[in-house]
Structures are given as C-alpha cells and as structure tokens.
Structure 1
Amino acid sequence: MITSPAWKDKRYAVLGLARSGRATVEALLASGADVLVWDDRTEAREPFAGRCAIGDPLEADLTGYGGVVVSPGVPLNTHPIKPHADSIGVPVIGDIELFAQARGDLPPHKVVGITGTNGKSTTTALVHHILKEAGMPTAMGGNIGLPILEQDPLPEGGVYVLELSSYQIDLTYSLDCDVAVLLNITPDHLDRYDGDFGKYAASKSRLLGMQTRGHNSIARFTDARVLGQFAEGSVASILEDVLQNRGIAPSEQADWPSLQGPHNRENAAAAIEVCDILGIAPEQVRSGLKSYPGLAHRMERVAEVSGVAYVNDSKGTNTAASAPALAAFENIHWIVGGLAKEPGLGECEAELGHVKAAYTIGKAGPDFAALLDGRVPVEQCETLDHAVASAAKNAAPGDTVLLSPACASFDQYADFEKRGDHFRALVERLA
C-alpha cells in the first residue's frame, strides 16, 4: 500500500467505509495516524473495532484534525459534514488528496489524470495498457480499478494513471498532474452542483488549474474556449489536432478492434498524446491501440449468436454516452431506458438512422417509447429479460443487439455493472 510520513501522529476522520474508505483507513494506520471511522452500516465498522476510534464525525470535536476523508459518493452540496468541518477549519478531502500528499515520499514518478463527462474509463485503461505493453511501470486507479492507496508504490520512472470524476476532483487541492486530460464536458450529475452546469464545468477544469508550470494539459478546443485559459505556464495540447500532429491517419482506427466509433477516435487521440508526452515510441503506441482489449460494459462485444452481435454498453448512462455507441454500429436493435438523467433523446437523436428497432425498459421506458414512436419501431418491454428475448426474436444475421440504456440503472439494478452482467447472462442463455 501507499503510506506517507506526512500523516504520522496526525488525526483523521474517515466517513464511508466502502472499498476506497477501507483502503484509506489502512494506509493511514500503517503511516502512524490516529483514525476516527464511521459508516452507517454496522458491518462496515466492525473490522475496525479495537484498531480505530469509532464515531460519527458530525458528533465529534474535529479540532486539530488533519482532515475529514469522505467517499466521493458523499454529496458535498447537501451533506452536513462540509459545513461542520468548515466551521472548525478542517479540510474535507478524498483519497486522491492523500495520494497527492504522499507523492513527495514515493520514488520519482509521473501522474496522468484523466477526466471528462464521457470516455474517461476507456482512455484511462487505454493509456495504462499502452504503457504496460511498452514495458513502463504503471498503475491504474482513481475511479477505476483498485483504490490508489491500496496499491504498491511504483519503482522509479513509473506512471500512475488516474481516472478522476468531478466528485474526486472536488476533494483534492494539491494534485499536480504531470499530464492532465479533459476529454469533454456535457451536462451530467447536475444534482450535485445545484443544477448549475457552470459549477460542474468548473469542477472538471480544476484538474487543469492545479497544474504547475511546465506540466502538460490536453483538452478539446471547444471545451478550452468554454473554460478559459489553462493553468499559467502549462503546455497545452488541443485534442482535435493530435492525429495529424502525431502522424496517425484516421483510417488506422480500423485496426483497433476495441476502439470503434467516432468517440473512440477522440479517446485514442487523447491516449496517443499522453503517451507521446511520456516518450513512448509511435510503433509501441500503435501496437497498444491494436491489442487493447476494451472495458467491460463499454461497447463490450458479448457474443455472436446466429449471426447477430450482442453488445453490452451498460456504462452508457446518459444520452451523450450512448450516442457514440449508436454511431458505431448499423442495423441496431436498441435496448434503452432506466432512470433518466435528462429529458429527451439528446445526442442520440442524430444517430437514429442506425436504429432498426427499439426496446424500452425501466422507469423512463414509456417516455423513450413516446419519443421514438413513428421514427423507429418500438416495443415497451419494461424488463431487460423481455427486451433481450424480443430483440433476439426480431434480429436478423448482420444486426446488432445493443444495450446502451442512456440512463442510470438504479430503478432496477444496484449499478450499471449489475445491469450489464444481467445482459451478459441473458445472452449466454441464447448461445
């Protein structure tokens, strides 16, 4: 695990004991910190009995604490922990901020931070894959994979590749990335930002603003204009220019089987620029693009049954995320619906020419059915079981059955992974 002498003999409160919270507690204890822990679930607190003080930080005197470490899932705009800690002058931070504080005691390394509304998981995993294939020591963490504090420190010359949500960026104040990537910004999670897109965009752009002179920033030209200038003295790259500047033709995308579609061209461009900045040779980058296996639940080709492809894009949890998946295939039997994040079809509307039929599920199913009626054949299925069965019955060889719900999953599933796993299990029964 990653530890730091900076935490020794200091007091911290940790609110939320899911995986990153548990990793945080272990790293703090191993560093010699005194830790107060709390989770509403009794079973989550039990492993720390006798090792930590246990109590709700809202009821504790936090005077002199080094910080309150909260899960990214804690809504800072509504949860009382933020005003409580602010009243005492104690910072509310996350595990990414602790990692930033530990960097000075780690072997010399670089950090790549990747954020954006859509594409950050794919881009993070792709950068990590290319670096690993090129023989560079690398670790992947943040909003993907293992909690960063749970991982072993990299040897000298290693690269930490971090996927960073806006929630995680809100909880760090000193993460100075050697390379920071802002892929895109579209409205999402606005409930956490009081319905204000400007606040959400400002949160994302803080990743660039924390950089110091000489470090590299990568963003789309359109987003850079919205956000204003990069951090003073940073070296800016414009995402739209990468392929041309790095000598990679757009036609080469045909050789990247897990990176199809216009959105993945942008994700690949970001990864190409990161790896170029880090000194990876062009042929090693090309090799990594070709061998990248893709992510589960993100345009994941599950199976081909009777000539019909079945694709799991359960991670498409808003219309902007689902539109690229619709653009990447033809003759689509589209399974759509769940808990809608915004009204309307959004960016999916422009891709309806790829849709042969639609099958609606979940709470937003009737709304999507009404929006699609008269434009594509629609069947209101309510459940994923019914939708997969109907799509399999109607699809012809050469068609694609695509689960890309354009909605959150919480009306019917614990998370998008459970929804995608259910889709995969249903498809396996067809084979």
Structure 2
Amino acid sequence: MIASRAWAGRRYAVLGLARSGRATAAALLAAGARVTAWDESENARTALAQQDALDLADPAAVDLTGYDAVLVSPGVPINRHPIAGHARAAGVPVIGDIELFAEARAELPPHRVVGITGTNGKSTTTALVHHILESAGVPSALGGNIGLPILEQQPLPKGGVYVLELSSYQIDLTRSLACDVAVLLNITPDHLDRYAGFDAYAAAKARLFAMQRPGQAAVIGIATEASATVARDVARSGRAEDVTKIAPGVCMDQSRWPALQGPHNAQNALAAIAACEALGIGRAVVDGGLASFTGLPHRMQRLGEVAGVAYVNDSKATNPESTAPALLAFPRIHWIVGGQPKGDDLNACRPGFSNVVRAYTIGEAAAMFETLLMPDMPVERCDTLARAVERAHAEARPGDTVLLSPACASFDQFADYAARGDAFAAAMGALR
C-alpha cells in the first residue's frame, strides 16, 4: 500500500467505494487520517463499516467545514453531482486517488512516473510500456484506469517506474501529478455527457502536460486534430524540445508483434517506444518487449484458430472510432458488430469496409446496423452473439478472421464488455 505521513491527523471524505474508493479509504486510514466514506451500495458500505477512524455518512449531506479534501471515484459525475457545489461552498478541494499518489511521491524511494491518456488505446499502451520495463529488469507497477488502484500497490524500490493509465476523469481530479513522461495518444469525441463540449473534454486531456515541468518528456500522437493542437500548444509554451510527435500513417513491420496488429496498434507501439526511450531503455530491449507482448483481454486479443480461421476478441471496442482500426488490421474479416449503440452511424468504420467479407449484426443495434451496412457488404442479422459465431464459422474459410469488434456498448445483453468477450471466447471454444 502507498500512503503518506502527511495525511495523519487530517480529515477526508471519500465518495464512491468501488475498488479505487476502497483503496483510497484504506490508504488514508493506514496513514492515520480520519475518514468519512459513502457509497450508494449498502454492500460497499458494509465492507468498510468496522474500521476505526471511519464514519459512514454521505459527504454531500454533512458539514464539510474543516475537511482537508473530498476524494471522489472517477465514476462520480462531478459536473452534475451535488458534492461539487457542496464542497466548493465549504472551500474544500475535490480530488481523486491519483492526486493522493502525487502527494505521497515525496516519501517514496526515488522513482519516475509515466502517465498515459487518450480516447482510445491507452490500456494497451500502458500495459505495453509496463511489459517492456519488466523485460528490461526495471521495477514497475501498473495503476489507474487500467483497473489497478495505484494506492493499493506496494511502493517500488529505488529506480522504479509507476505506469499510470489516466482517464480524463482522473486528470480532472488531479492537480500536481508531474509525470516524467506524459503520453497522449489521440482525442476523439467521447464522454461528452461529463463535459460542456468537445473542447472541454480535450482541455481535460491537455492538463496532463500543464502539470509537467520543463524537461519532462511529452509524447503526443498527432493523428487527430485535437491532439495535434495539444502538441503545438505544449511546444509553443517553451517546451518544444520536450515534445515527441507520433505521426499517423507511419509504415512499420508489425509481423514480429503478433499482439500488436493494425494501424492503431502501430501508433500505440510508437508511443510506447518513445516513452521507453525517454526512460533510457535500449532499443534492443524495446524490440524484444514488443515481440513478446501478449496483449490485453478483449483488446484485439487473438484467441486462436478453428479450422484455419483466426478468432479475435475486440469486445473493448465500444464505439465506431475504436472499431475502425480493427477493420484495417486483417484482409478478410467476418465482422460481428452491434450491441447498445452510441450513435446512429458507422461512418468512422468505413475505411475498413473493403476488408469485410460479411457482417453479422447483434443486439439492440442489429436491425439498424443491418440497414446501414447492406449497401456495402453482405450482412446477416443474427441478434445474438452465439448465433453470429455459428454463422461466421459456417461462412469463413481458412485464412479468414472472425472479428468481434462491436462498435457498441454491451449493456443490452451483457453485464459489461468483458462478459461479452468471454461469451465470444466460449462460443468459439464450443466450435472445436
């Protein structure tokens, strides 16, 4: 656990007791702080109920006078939750667990921090950087949006590197995290229900660089106009020598990297290479790490082959923008697409349509996507994932790829994208 002596005797409120919230409360209590905690879930509250120095009460309903900070989980929509105004009226800052980590850094053994953000690709890039560091023998810890609360990790020895995946929500709740290497992959419209508009969302991403000091590395993909603007702004702020730009369309031999196929993974790999080189990792070690990386579950995950046909689980692709590069990764695709739609078009996917042999539409979007895709490719409306796998198996030929890249949320038929990906793997397994 990572904790700071500076928190001892202070008073904090913690709102949201999912994994990061529990880790936050535990770290504060271990440091000797007084904590008021709350979650809408009774089960989540009960799990913390018997701890000394802990009060169970809703921070939005108590007098916050005298509190040092309110810690909110990234899932709490502070743009519309009453806690934001309540804390502001009491003069209490609203922060997150990443800010607590930033506060604790002074007491940790000498180390460096890599912070990685972007609309798409940040989990893969975060895991890839961590994998390369481990390959180089550098002590490394994963944390943040990748699902591992950083305060829950053990402090690294001298020379260690903390690799953090950072969502815009986490950056919003952070004030002083000066990353030794900050990475921005791209910015496309997403999560706009949490922001006044796209510009505000892009500005949240850009704050990762505003928290840095001159001389700290800034690795920025410039494939999207919004992220290219961030690169220009950072360079014009007097930090031109700090900026490494990752250009789109760079031709690379990805044949040696089985888990990093497609143009999007070329960009992820380039960003990881730049980040690791900024940390002083030799190119031979980097190349070895790229080749041995096995990828993340549900993110362009190659499950194996059945009768010469490859099956790829890209269930994490929950919007058309994240599905688009997957359609460019393979020459003959049987595309399983659909679920709970986030819009009424698939225009972002159009550049890869020529690679699709046949599409199989599922879920709430099945009928709409069938209509959208019929002018461009053969389509079968399958409704269920199991049926789609059956039909793709019947139609695919050796050398083809059956790709689950839904371009939709999963909540119409599954608990989450992971459950959807697991169901795809099970359906493939049943074909053997």
Which interval holds the TM-score relative to the shorter structure?
over 0.9
**Aligned amino acid, residue 255 of structure 1:** R
SS in 2 for 1:254: coil
SS in 1 for 2:430: helix
Q: Distance in 2 between matches of 1:165 and 1:294?
A: 20
Equivalent residues in 2 for 1:213-362 (5 A)? 213-221=214-222, 222-227=225-230, 228-230=232-234, 232-234=237-239, 235-240=242-247, 250-362=251-363
Is the 8 Å Cα contact of residues 324 and 352 (structure 2) preserved in structure 1? yes
Q: Distance in 2 between matches of 1:182 and 1:160?
A: 17
Q: Distance in 2 between matches of 1:225 and 1:183?
A: 10
Q: CA deviation at 1:313?
A: 0.2
Q: For each residue in 1:50-88, what CA deviation from the matched residue of structure 2 results, as whole angstroms up to 9, or x when unmatched?
A: 311001111111111111111111111111111111111
Q: Distance in 2 between matches of 1:334 and 1:216?
A: 39
Counterpart of 1:56 in structure 2 is 58
**Aligned amino acid, residue 21 of structure 2:** G
Aligned-pair identity in percent equals 60
Is the 8 Å Cα contact of residues 242 and 270 (structure 1) preserved in structure 2? no
Equivalent residues in 2 for 1:147-162 (5 A)? 147-162=149-164
Q: CA deviation at 1:224?
A: 4.7
Question: Which is worse superposed, 112-121 or 358-367?
Answer: 358-367
Counterpart of 2:23 in structure 1 is 23
Q: CA deviation at 1:144?
A: 1.0
Equivalent residues in 2 for 1:89-238 (5 A)? 89-194=91-196, 196-221=197-222, 222-227=225-230, 228-230=232-234, 232-234=237-239, 235-238=242-245
Relative to structure 1, the CA distance from residue 11 to residue 266 in structure 2 (aligned partners, 3 Å threshold; closer, same or farther) is: same
Q: CA deviation at 1:251?
A: 4.2
Relative to structure 1, the CA distance from residue 392 to residue 170 in structure 2 (aligned partners, 3 Å threshold; closer, same or farther) is: same
Q: Distance in 1 between matches of 2:249 and 2:419?
A: 36
Is the 8 Å Cα contact of residues 187 and 227 (structure 2) preserved in structure 1? no
Q: CA deviation at 1:252?
A: 3.4
Q: CA deviation at 1:41?
A: 1.1
Q: Distance in 1 between matches of 2:423 and 2:385?
A: 8
Question: Which is worse superposed, 232-241 or 29-38?
Answer: 232-241
What is the root-mean-square deviation of aligned Cα atoms in Å?
1.5
Q: Distance in 1 between matches of 2:187 and 2:25?
A: 33
Question: Which is worse superposed, 152-161 or 81-90?
Answer: 81-90
Relative to structure 1, the CA distance from residue 264 to residue 342 in structure 2 (aligned partners, 3 Å threshold; closer, same or farther) is: same
Q: For each residue in 1:360-404, what CA deviation from the matched residue of structure 2 results, as whole angstroms up to 9, or x when unmatched?
A: 112222221111012111111121111111111221222111100
Relative to structure 1, the CA distance from residue 185 to residue 314 in structure 2 (aligned partners, 3 Å threshold; closer, same or farther) is: same
**Aligned amino acid, residue 404 of structure 1:** S
State which of 76, 80, 83 in structure 2 corresponds to 1:81.
Answer: 83
TM-score computed with the length of structure 1 as normaliser: 0.95
Counterpart of 1:72 in structure 2 is 74
**Aligned amino acid, residue 425 of structure 1:** A
Relative to structure 1, the CA distance from residue 346 to residue 104 in structure 2 (aligned partners, 3 Å threshold; closer, same or farther) is: farther
Q: CA deviation at 1:242?
A: 12
Is the 8 Å Cα contact of residues 135 and 289 (structure 2) preserved in structure 1? yes
Q: Distance in 2 between matches of 1:198 and 1:364?
A: 29
Q: For each residue in 1:20-69, what CA deviation from the matched residue of structure 2 results, as whole angstroms up to 9, or x when unmatched?
A: 11111110000000011111111111122231100111111111111111
Q: Distance in 1 between matches of 2:353 and 2:159?
A: 47
Q: Distance in 2 between matches of 1:159 and 1:145?
A: 18
Counterpart of 2:46 in structure 1 is 46
Q: Distance in 1 between matches of 2:151 and 2:337?
A: 37
Is the 8 Å Cα contact of residues 242 and 273 (structure 1) preserved in structure 2? no
Q: Distance in 1 between matches of 2:256 and 2:147?
A: 26
Q: For each residue in 1:304-342, what CA deviation from the matched residue of structure 2 results, as whole angstroms up to 9, or x when unmatched?
A: 111111110001111111111110012211111112223
Counterpart of 1:380 in structure 2 is 381
Counterpart of 1:247 in structure 2 is none
Counterpart of 2:410 in structure 1 is 409
Q: For each residue in 1:197-239, what CA deviation from the matched residue of structure 2 results, as whole angstroms up to 9, or x when unmatched?
A: 1111111111111111211111124445423511745411111
Q: Distance in 1 between matches of 2:119 and 2:347?
A: 14
Q: Distance in 1 between matches of 2:23 and 2:301?
A: 29
Is the 8 Å Cα contact of residues 339 and 412 (structure 2) preserved in structure 1? yes
Q: For each residue in 1:119-178, what CA deviation from the matched residue of structure 2 results, as whole angstroms up to 9, or x when unmatched?
A: 101110000000000000110110114210000000111100001111111111111111
Is the 8 Å Cα contact of residues 212 and 233 (structure 1) preserved in structure 2? no
Q: Distance in 2 between matches of 1:21 and 1:63?
A: 22
Is the 8 Å Cα contact of residues 303 and 427 (structure 1) preserved in structure 2? no
Q: CA deviation at 1:343?
A: 2.8
Relative to structure 1, the CA distance from residue 267 to residue 102 in structure 2 (aligned partners, 3 Å threshold; closer, same or farther) is: same
